[in-house]
Structures are given as structure tokens and as C-alpha cells.
A = this chain, B = another copy of it.
Amino acid sequence: MFQSFEDSATPQQGPARLEALRSEMTAAGVDAFLVPRADAHQGEYVSAHDERLSWLTGFTGSAGWCVALATRAGVFVDGRYRVQVRAQVADVFEPVDWPEVSLGDWIAEALPKGVVGFDPWLLSLDQQRALAAKLGDHELRSCDNLIDSIWSDQPAPPMGEAFAQPVELAGEPHEAKIKRLAADLKADAAIITLPDSIAWLLNIRGRDIARNPVPHGFAILHKKGRVSLFIAQDKVTSLGDHFGDLVDLNPVDAFLPAVQNLTGRVQIDPATCPVIVADLLSDTIEAQDPCLLPKARKNDAELSGSRAAHLRDAAAMVRFLSWLETQTGGEFTEIDVVQRLEAERRATNALRDISFETISGAGPNGAIVHYRVTNTSNRTVENNQLLLVDSGGQYVDGTTDITRTVVVGTPTQEERRAFTLVLKGMIAISRLRFPTGLAGRDMDVLARTALWQDGLDYGHGTGHGVGAYLSVHEGPQRLASTGTVPFEAGMILSNEPGFYKEGAFGIRIENLIAVQDAPALPGQTVPHMLRFETLTWVPIDTRLVNPTLLTEDERDWLNSYHAEVEVRVSPLVEGAAKDWLSRACRAI
């Protein structure tokens, strides 16, 4: 079982650890110390070694900061975690609404002047600048990580073995990627610190953190068409001669000296480059990590792989949903749901990991957008309740992410109406044809207008980028009001509008979609258009659909979708699952 249901928060340890940290701060001569959730690679998941924020405070969310002062300590969490943080941290920590309140503003108010210490591996250049802009009267000082000094049983950094991603699945030899990116480089070298960028560029995967199949390391892409990789030797021994002539292998310790010895102009991404790296460079160009866009534009092999992974995953989902239909309200729990679903995915014999912790929310728990079921929160799924299940798998050929909301028993009219409005938004994105040049923010509205007509909305973006056997949340494109990167053929996105009635129910419907060129129509006047290919083929619960609220086009889309689901998935399932699938795919 990949997923665990433990309550990992340990608020009772917080006060003593905070006092120990304050002693270290005094010894180090700093008046404030920053403890980010992030590691040096700025990813969403971190290794046990890097769980400093949760070790100190008890807060286990996927983003946040603690700012420790001599007499106060703020824990900065965003809208997803405002309830959770209060349950997880002791009274000595003050929850702060972030990013509405910035770290800099809070510090400036709480500490009119003084020395603010931070670990320069864990702060990006942009983050340092944002702080400096607010803290004119303070000294921002790099120092040792004071948590590491007091965390006596801190786990060692991860040492997962890396392995090659077959070129048939990657679709392009890593030598070709290196040459292509090097040729486009405007600088003499580029620093790459994002693990999924390195994994993509070198066609490798790793086991250093949960959910994301990446190795931890650093890389320098040289304009002359070579890559220097800095990674623990033990992680790559089994890779043999995968790397070939264009990659030189170096221990991690050699990274900073190598950065220091670079000549010419060096490209860094200020959004993710650690301060300790940026501080070594004098002649820099700031630009986005050069792997981000090429990685986002999936090639044919990656798209084929993703289609295969999605079909495999769809069969597991169908088996799971047909099992779910046999369950009786009041007699199974959210954890039962997670376990059964993971078991179905494991039964494919192809599951490398789940792609994130499954969200299984019954009734009111479905309305908690980033709910993770634990032994404490676990709720029995009652009759006449909605169940929201958001989950995904990591397969060697692709990463999946799917949400289905189903009713156990009979839905209310309110639930059916809300579900249908969410579905209308999801269909509007699925059906869209659009000119090139448009970004997520230009079309996010299409997923919301039906809800808006009823005065409803949802408090998250409509979709995020997804990797190819890489991170389930991948940039730079987003289908959201904050998404400014134009969509290009090959980009994979989620399409997941929702509606959440606090204390009552939650609805989300999510397919993955891939941007593709739209063949020109007769009479077309727009020179070049794009559309979305659907990757996810799993029935949507039609018991929750009110057909009178759908337009003819929307109903046609839904019926065609289900017809295609049956054609594609029926050969992959048997028995009760096959029967259930046939019923679930009936036209409405």
C-alpha cells in the first residue's frame, strides 16, 4: 500500500523544538529564522530528510513557512490549509494567512529591525528579493540550517536508485534533447535544479521522494552541448553507460565549486534557483528553466504512452467503480474506498506509485478541497451521500489524474443540478476549439459560466499541467486565471471544475486532456486552431445528471464520450465490471 492513513502531526513536540531552535538562533546571532516547507529543489513533495516544517511545527501541508522569532512564531499557510493548521500546531505557533500576508510584511511588523537568518539552499532568488523589498531595515543573512542542528534523528537525505526511462517511451534520446536545448541557450551554461527537469532531460527517473519518480541532483547544461550532472554516485551505478558521452557525472559536493568555476554568462531561473547558487554567479541571464516548455510539449511517444496508461488506469477505475456500486451506504468507509482503488491499480501489475494521496471524501468531507483521509477523519459513506474520489497512478508510460463523483443511493435535486452545472463546464472545455496564442486564463471562464448563472463557483483553478511519468502537477501551463503560458500542441492538462457546499457535499469531475492541432474545417478563416484530445475514459455518473439542463451539443458530447468509453475499456474488463460498464455508458 502506497498510501498511509496516519495522522502525522505531532503538535505536542512543537514548543520544545521551537525553544531549541531559539537557542540555536541566539548562538548564530540571528533574530529570525525562516523554515520553508520546500527543499532545495522547490518541488511539491519533499523527502523525510527535508520535512523540517512539519518536524518543527506539526503542520503537514504541501506548502508553507514558519518564521521563528525570539517571542513569536508565525506559520504561514494558504487557503487550503487554514482549518488544518489550527488542528496540527501548538499554541506557540500563530497561523498566518499567506500569501495575503507576506513573510516580509509580517516580519517587518513583528521585528522592526534585526537579522533574518535563512538556509540559502532553501530560498529561491525570487523569494529572497521579495523579502529584501519588504525588509529594508533588516539584514538578510545566509546561515546553516538551524533545524538540522537540533534535529538529532533527522533522516538521511534520500538515496533512491535512479533508472533509465526507455527511449521508446521518452520519444527522444537524451543526447538529442541536450543538443536541442544547448543550441537554443542564450547563455554559456544554464543551472538546472528542478528534479523533473533533470529527469526529463537525461531520460532517467528516480526514487528519492514519494509520488514523483525523480532523483535528487543538480545539473549544468553547457552551451557546447554537454551536461554536468551532480548526483550521489550510489544512485546511478546501476545506470551503467546510459548517460554516454555528453554527460559527466560528479558528486553533489562538486556542484557549488563547479558553478563557481563557470566562465561566461550563466542562465538561472530566479523562481527556483537557490540563493546559494545565485550568489556564486556574477554574469547571469535570468530566464525560465530551459527544460520547462520542451518537457511540457509531449512528443508522440509520450502521448502514446499517456494514452496507454490512461486506458490501463481506466480499466482499474471501472473495476473500482463497479465494486463501489455493490457497496451499501453505512457499511463502508472512505479508507475502504482508497484501499480498494489502490488494489485495483496494483492489480494492473504496472503501477509504480500512486501519483498523489487519493482524496476520498464522503458527504461533507467532499467539500474539503484538499482532503486527505486519516484514521481520525475517516468517515463512513452513508446512503444518499455523494462520494468524491480524486486519484491517479504513476505508470512507466504515463501519469494519470482523475476525479469522479458518484452518488451512493439517491441524490437530491440540488446535488443533481450542481453536478450537471459542473459537467457543463467540464464539457465546455472538452469541446473547445481555439486559435493559437491563447493561455489558460483566456478560457478558464468557460468552465464556470454555467455555475455562475446559479450564483455558484469553485475556489481553485480549472486545471494544471501533468507530466509523462513525472510530476502530476507540472508547469508552466495552467488552465486557470493565473495561467499566462499559451497552450501548445502536446501539452497535457487536467480539466476539473467543481462545486463545494461546505458541510454538505463536494463535486468535482476531472479528465486529463492533451492540446492538439485541430484540422482545418471547410471555410475556416482562423489560420491555425487547437483543440483538446481526451485522455481519460471512465464513466461519469449519469444518475447525477439532469438532462434537461444540458444543451443538445452537451448531451451529444456526453453520450459520445460514454459510447467511446465502452468501446475502449470494455475489452479490458470482465464479468461484473463489464456489465457495470455497459450500464454506466448508456446514453441519456
Contacts and interface: CB of A to CB of B under 8 A. Distances in A.
Interface in A429-458: 431-435, 438, 441-446, 449, 452-457
A525 B501 contact: yes
Nearest to A458: B525
B432 A452 contact: yes
Contacts of A432: 449, 452
Given A442-B441, A501-B525, A551-B552, A455 B433 contact: yes
A152 interface: no
Nearest to A437: B481
Interface in A410-437: 414, 428, 431-435
Contacts of A481: 442
Nearest to A550: B551
A520 B552 contact: no
Nearest to A417: B523
A376 interface: no
A524 interface: yes
Interface string A480-501: 0100000000000000000001
15 contacts: A431-B453, A433-B452, A433-B453, A433-B455, A434-B452, A442-B445, A442-B481, A445-B446, A455-B521, A455-B526, A455-B529, A456-B526, A457-B525, A457-B526, A551-B552
Contacts of A521: 454-455
Among the interface residues A442, A446, A456, A525, which one has the most CB atoms of the partner chain B within 10 A? A525
Interface in A501-531: 501, 520-521, 523-526, 529
A542 B17 CA distance: 74
B552 A455 contact: no
A431 B454 CA distance: 12
A533 to B, nearest CB: 16
Contact of A525 (B428, B453, B455): B455
A432 B451 CA distance: 11
Contacts of A553: 551
Nearest to A455: B524
Interface string A524-559: 111001000000000000000000000111000000
B442 A443 contact: no
A428 B446 CA distance: 11
Of the listed residues A435, A438, A457, A553, the one surrounded by the most CB atoms of chain B closer than 10 A to its CB is A457
